A and B are shown apart, each in its own frame.
Chain A
């Protein structure tokens, strides 16, 4: 137990950084000012501790982990090829041989749903990460330097935000020209990432505006620490909590946008299995074969629910004021 708290304290101090007293604290952990050290535990660490107690977050995390495993081992888990058609077994009802039935080309729905997880997860996660890697630096620069740089960056972000999200994503996909396979997935990722960049830029800019006025940042400047170092080492670590929450919930939104683009025929193109596309393709047969649209739809729902539950739990844990 003691070891645990000691390692947490050390971690916390590494993040808070900046003051000269810190060096002394590290030299004598838990001895010099034990009470103060216990309270100085980083908010992120406190949050993660709270997260472990949240049932909904754990359920969400479990769903996400299962999905990741399914996506990674799709080849081994899928009973058949997701793209091989079999004209002798079209529109099979769910049975022991075909647990989720087959579509109009005789393709096994279970295998398609399993493989479809790849596109959803890969596009969902990578588009949000791409938006994060572009949006966060923009937001930091805008917030830290202010003035004209801020105005230029934020007006550009406002322009993107002025579009309804689906409209912009659709326009971008028409420009990128949707294709199948990895390239197709990269195009969808790019389109969704562009739409999401301003969300990070705004979020981070807001945090930076308040953090840069703090005394420890002033101290850094007085000590002659260079701006990039201040931004990366002293400001960024204090913005992590909202960034993490936005990212988790953002993955859920991105998965919905990807499915919607596929549903409109502007996502990854066939034969690459995609839940949105499968749902759309099978809506035409809904009258006689209702299950065909149900399974891809349910897959989207469960995936989004998993990320939403986890993200919600994270938000409650990292920002208890919002609970």
Chain B
């Protein structure tokens, strides 16, 4: 098992290198460059050449990438071309916001999907099942930002500002500076709507999948045996059926987390949250090469680590799966 984890961790390296290299090349093929934005409209070509040389932007792309990588190995993520702030510092400040959003939205998704799928599967073809599948179909079809807008309409406008429409209050202990709001209650108020907006669509996908695999599992012989030996319905459903039905769901959950990293950009933009998503989109639009690299790196890393965690979860759900 240990060698397996080690081998998988080593495989992460080429994937991350590939992703960061592709992003590196892509960003440098974007029309316009950050130096122009940095110098403003009244710049001379002479100044631009000087600044480009200063940031090493006049070197061939492969050399630039090698320099970036060399510094990265030493823990230096570079500094923003536009603001001059260290990229790693910005990423670390914004990471907890996005992490909290993604974890909570996955929690929302599971809190909806597991009961809905169990009810749907155990009472197949009843009104409860039809309701669960219809709601799931509706959930799959609404884009995250529209759910966000609907939530804003109900909770921020309709119910007289019950929940704040934008901004952020940090969890105690995560405040990056002296001037931010810190409170658990305030944080919950701010994160609730974005987490629901992001989680509902995932809930719908997971419900459909989990219902289908539950239907398959409850018809297997070992579930019949469990019932025949006199077990009550609760352990049959939760211990025998659900645990096995969760295996394909966990795979999809891993993929969904990958999707959430991208979708967080949209939800964070709508709710004006200071997370990695808004950091990434702002950096991409401003063509701040160093920031974009930092964003790509952390995204790629999260993506591959989550896939590894998914594989490791299998051994818990199905002890027959043993990696060696």
Any chain A CB within 8 A of the CB of B135?
no
Q: Are A164 and B145 in contact (CB under 8 A)?
A: no
Q: Are A163 and B19 in contact (CB under 8 A)?
A: yes
Q: Are A167 and B266 in contact (CB under 8 A)?
A: no
Q: How many A-B pairs with Cβ below 8 Å?
A: 104
Q: Are B31 and A177 in contact (CB under 8 A)?
A: yes
On chain A, the residues within 8 Å of B153 by CB distance are 286, 290, 293-294
Any chain A CB within 8 A of the CB of B83?
no
Q: Give Cα A279 to B146, complex, Å.
A: 8
User: Given contacts A159-B18, A162-B300, is CB(A297)–CB(B150) below 8 Å?
Assistant: yes
Q: Are A171 and B263 in contact (CB under 8 A)?
A: no
User: Given contacts A170-B284, A175-B26, A283-B149, is CB(A164)–CB(B143) below 8 Å?
Assistant: no
Q: Secondary structure at chain B's binding surface: helix, strand, loop or mixed?
A: helix
Residue of B nearest to A280 (CB): B145
Shortest distance from the beta carbon of A282 to any chain B beta carbon, whole Å: 9
Any chain B CB within 8 A of the CB of A252?
yes
Shortest distance from the beta carbon of A256 to any chain B beta carbon, whole Å: 5
Residue of A nearest to B31 (CB): A177
Q: Give Cα A315 to B24, complex, Å.
A: 40
Q: Give Cα A290 to B154, complex, Å.
A: 10
User: Given contacts A162-B300, A304-B141, is CB(A175)–CB(B29) below 8 Å?
Assistant: yes
When the two chains form the complex, which single residue of B26, B140, B157, B300 contacts A171, counting CB atoms closer than 8 Å? B26
Q: Are B149 and A174 in contact (CB under 8 A)?
A: no
Mark contacts of B217-254 with chain A using CB atoms, 8 A cut-off: 1 yes-contact digit, 0 otherwise: 00000000000000000000000000000000000000
Q: Which of B18, B19, B23, B149 has the most CB of A within 10 A?
A: B149
Any chain A CB within 8 A of the CB of B69?
no
Any chain B CB within 8 A of the CB of A133?
no
Within 8 A of A (CB), among B137-187: 137-138, 140-146, 149-150, 152-153, 157
On chain B, the residues within 8 Å of A264 by CB distance are 265-266, 269, 281
Any chain A CB within 8 A of the CB of B53?
no
When the two chains form the complex, which single residue of A283, A287, A305, A322 contacts B137, counting CB atoms closer than 8 Å? A305
Shortest distance from the beta carbon of B134 to any chain A beta carbon, whole Å: 9
On chain B, the residues within 8 Å of A260 by CB distance are 143-145, 266
Any chain A CB within 8 A of the CB of B56?
no
Q: Are A162 and B143 in contact (CB under 8 A)?
A: no
Q: Give Cα A170 to B269, complex, Å.
A: 14
User: Given contacts A297-B150, A301-B146, is CB(A167)–CB(B299) below 8 Å?
Assistant: yes
User: Given contacts A164-B261, A297-B149, is CB(A263)–CB(B266) below 8 Å?
Assistant: yes
On chain B, the residues within 8 Å of A297 by CB distance are 143, 146, 149-150
Within 8 A of B (CB), among A158-215: 159, 162-167, 170-172, 174-175, 177
Q: Which of B30, B146, B280, B300 has the most CB of A within 10 A?
A: B146
When the two chains form the complex, which single residue of A259, A286, A308 contacts B143, counting CB atoms closer than 8 Å? A259
Q: Are B18 and A293 in contact (CB under 8 A)?
A: no
Q: Are B138 and A162 in contact (CB under 8 A)?
A: no
Q: Give Cα A170 to B145, complex, Å.
A: 16
Q: Are B137 and A309 in contact (CB under 8 A)?
A: yes
Q: Are B15 and A162 in contact (CB under 8 A)?
A: yes
On chain B, the residues within 8 Å of A305 by CB distance are 137-138, 141
Within 8 A of A (CB), among B261-302: 261-263, 265-266, 269-270, 280-281, 284-285, 287, 296, 299-300
Any chain A CB within 8 A of the CB of B259?
yes
Residue of B nearest to A170 (CB): B284
Shortest distance from the beta carbon of B183 to any chain A beta carbon, whole Å: 25
Residue of B nearest to A173 (CB): B284
Residue of B nearest to A301 (CB): B142
Q: Are A165 and B262 in contact (CB under 8 A)?
A: yes
Within 8 A of A (CB), among B8-60: 15, 18-19, 22-23, 26-27, 29-31
Shortest distance from the beta carbon of A288 to any chain B beta carbon, whole Å: 9
Q: Give Cα A284 to B109, complex, Å.
A: 28
Q: Which of A256, A290, A293 has the most CB of B within 10 A?
A: A256
Any chain A CB within 8 A of the CB of B93?
no
Any chain B CB within 8 A of the CB of A217?
no
Any chain B CB within 8 A of the CB of A312?
yes
On chain B, the residues within 8 Å of A304 by CB distance are 141-143
Any chain B CB within 8 A of the CB of A300?
yes
Q: Give Cα A171 to B295, complex, Å.
A: 12
On chain A, the residues within 8 Å of B144 by CB distance are 260
User: Given contacts A263-B266, A290-B157, is CB(A164)–CB(B141) below 8 Å?
Assistant: no
Q: Are B262 and A167 in contact (CB under 8 A)?
A: yes
Q: Give Cα A304 to B300, complex, Å.
A: 29
Q: Give Cα A170 to B19, complex, Å.
A: 15
Q: Give Cα A167 to B270, complex, Å.
A: 16
User: Given contacts A264-B266, A279-B146, A286-B157, is CB(A167)–CB(B261) below 8 Å?
Assistant: yes
Any chain A CB within 8 A of the CB of B65?
no
Residue of A nearest to B304 (CB): A162
Shortest distance from the beta carbon of A268 to any chain B beta carbon, whole Å: 16
Q: Are B137 and A312 in contact (CB under 8 A)?
A: yes
Shortest distance from the beta carbon of A287 to any chain B beta carbon, whole Å: 6
Q: Are A174 and B142 in contact (CB under 8 A)?
A: no
Given contact pairs A166-B262, A170-B265, A260-B144, a sample of 13 additional A-B residue pairs in the complex whose CB atoms are under 8 Å apart: A166-B263, A167-B265, A170-B281, A174-B30, A174-B284, A174-B285, A263-B143, A264-B266, A297-B149, A304-B141, A304-B143, A308-B137, A309-B137
> Which A residues are closer than 8 A to B by beta carbons?
159, 162-167, 170-172, 174-175, 177, 252, 256, 259-260, 263-264, 279-280, 283, 286-287, 290, 293-294, 297, 300-301, 304-305, 308-309, 312, 322
CB<8 Å pairs between A and B, sample of 30? A159-B18, A162-B304, A163-B19, A163-B22, A164-B259, A164-B261, A164-B299, A166-B263, A167-B280, A170-B265, A174-B284, A175-B30, A175-B31, A177-B31, A259-B145, A264-B265, A279-B146, A286-B149, A286-B153, A286-B157, A287-B157, A290-B153, A293-B153, A294-B149, A294-B153, A297-B143, A301-B142, A301-B143, A304-B143, A322-B212
